[in-house]
Structure 1
Amino acid sequence: MTYFVTGTDTDCGKTLVSSALLTAVAGETVGFKPVASGCEKTEQGLRNSDALALMAASSIKLPYDDINPFAFAPAIAPHIAAAEQNVALTPARIQAQLNMAQHLGADFVLVEGAGGWRLPLSEGHYMSEVVQAMSLPVILVVGMKLGCLNHALLTIEAIERDGIVIAGWVSNQVDSTMKNQQENLASLQQMISAPFLGHIPHLENATAQNAAKHLNVTLLA
């Protein structure tokens, strides 16, 4: 099964949750990060820390360029970075790179987005169009901080309006000082009808293995 992982915002913990899911699921797994900005220049080429984390958590090992085909050095919005390099960052090109995921024989495939649900691409397109074209169910990561209730509900409304199924959601405690953490989590559980896959507390050692202990992957269809 292939899922798309999106979040309520940038830095909400999509990669931690994705890595944890890849670690928790039994069978052959692989994670993709098709578009990434803020990449580091290395002798092997541009490398993104999120994509490297997904590679480390995947049981199927693929070349970096297959995992992250569109990599940009500036830590800015990908569509701006792409425009600066005259790269056509279109849904069709991204989907063409991801189609190979259907031929890997993997039991569990994750495609991690960048930013939030309505990430802009080139020519007035959005990453959400890729998800629609591939009919991928979504796993939503809610970054637990002030304002997360509004961010979560608006993101869910947009996903469902686009005709996409939300297969499950994960809350990730990005702000350890957030007031009324349990009350906010309870409100989200009451308002979101999709399966609740778990709450990842603020971890001092935020590894995929430690985060996976807080997830219930059996709730995924």
Structure 2
Amino acid sequence: MTRTFFVTGTDTEVGKTFISGALLECAAREGLQTAAVKPVASGCEVTHEGLRNSDALLLQEAMTMDLPYQQVNPIALEPAIAPHIAAMEAGRRLDARRMEGVCRGVMSAGADLVLIEGAGGWRTPLGPRSYLSDLPQQLDIPVILVVGMQLGCINHAVLTAEAIRRDGLALAGWVANFVRDGMARPDENLATLRTLLPAPLLGVVPFDEATDYRAAAEHLQIAPLLG
């Protein structure tokens, strides 16, 4: 049975890819086959093989299945700006339905665990009347929330969780990722989030593990996702 989750964050630069890689590593250590998709990515570099995104490459490295880059990251955009603006400048149209087809292809490839990573936060626009959050709704999959532990994270986390529930999806779990060194009152902030977020805490990743997703995997548990 394939279990699929959409990974979103409280903001951009909160470690969605880093935590996704760590979760994939956790699953691999449990003997599970894993795969991942980064449907749209901006900030890609020009290489002799075409545009490549560092986040998508990390996911490709962390997963156990051997998937071509184009299946991991079907929409690659060069400017490091909001995806819908980057697509508009490139004369392209972002379509959640097209992304859905790619994701379903990976979901049917035989992995035990599939992670589909968003871009930015939950309401990242794809166009004038569409959002990237349309994709997990179309796939009808639960969501993992990466909370960037920094000042303001409680408000961002609670609002994101509320939006996920309003969209009819389950919040399967959340990860507290310390993206800044020396956050004031970390324990108190964690306690508040535990009270307010209606999902299991999958782990707390300290700031000093921020460079290696394999080390971060030591701080996570995937059992709540597999039950």
Give the TM-score range, shorter chain.
over 0.9
Figure out how many residues of one structure are paired with residues of the other and give that number. 221
Q: Determine the structure 1 residue equivalent to 2:172.
A: 167
Q: 1:102 aligns with which of 89, 100, 107?
A: 107
SS of 2:194's partner is helix
Q: Determine the structure 1 residue equivalent to 2:46.
A: 41
User: Is contact 2:26-2:222 (8 Å) kept?
Assistant: yes
Identical pairs, percent: 52
SS of 2:60's partner is helix
Structure 1 unmatched ranges of 5 or more: none
2:222 maps to amino acid: V
Q: 1:208 aligns with which of 186, 196, 213?
A: 213
User: Is contact 2:179-2:210 (8 Å) kept?
Assistant: no
Q: Determine the structure 2 residue equivalent to 1:29.
A: 34
1:187 partnered with 2:192? yes
User: Is contact 2:6-2:144 (8 Å) kept?
Assistant: yes
1:81 partnered with 2:86? yes
Cα displacement (A) at 1:205: 5.6
1:153 partnered with 2:155? no
Q: 1:53 aligns with which of 39, 52, 58?
A: 58
RMSD across aligned positions (CA): 1.0
1:2 maps to amino acid: T
Q: Determine the structure 2 residue equivalent to 1:13.
A: 15
Cα displacement (A) at 1:85: 1.4
Q: Determine the structure 1 residue equivalent to 2:127.
A: 122
Whole-Å separation in 2 of the counterparts to 1:82 and 1:97: 18
Cα displacement (A) at 1:177: 2.0
Whole-Å separation in 2 of the counterparts to 1:87 and 1:130: 18
Residue deviations 1:1-48, cap 9 Å, x none? 000000000000101110000000131001110100000110111000
User: Is contact 1:90-1:123 (8 Å) kept?
Assistant: no
1:14 maps to amino acid: K
2:12 maps to amino acid: T
Cα displacement (A) at 1:84: 1.1
Whole-Å separation in 1 of the counterparts to 2:25 and 2:35: 10
Cα displacement (A) at 1:102: 2.4
Whole-Å separation in 1 of the counterparts to 2:215 and 2:177: 13
Cα displacement (A) at 1:204: 5.0
User: Is contact 2:145-2:175 (8 Å) kept?
Assistant: yes
1:135 partnered with 2:140? yes
Whole-Å separation in 2 of the counterparts to 1:173 and 1:29: 25
User: Is contact 1:18-1:110 (8 Å) kept?
Assistant: yes
User: Is contact 2:94-2:126 (8 Å) kept?
Assistant: yes
Cα displacement (A) at 1:90: 1.1
Instruction: Please give the TM-score of this superposition, normalised by the length of structure 1.
Output: 0.97
2:7 maps to amino acid: V
SS of 1:74's partner is coil
Q: Structure 1 residues 195, 204: CA separation in 2 closer, same or farther (over 3 Å shift)?
A: closer
Q: Which moved more, 1:138-147 or 1:189-198?
A: 189-198
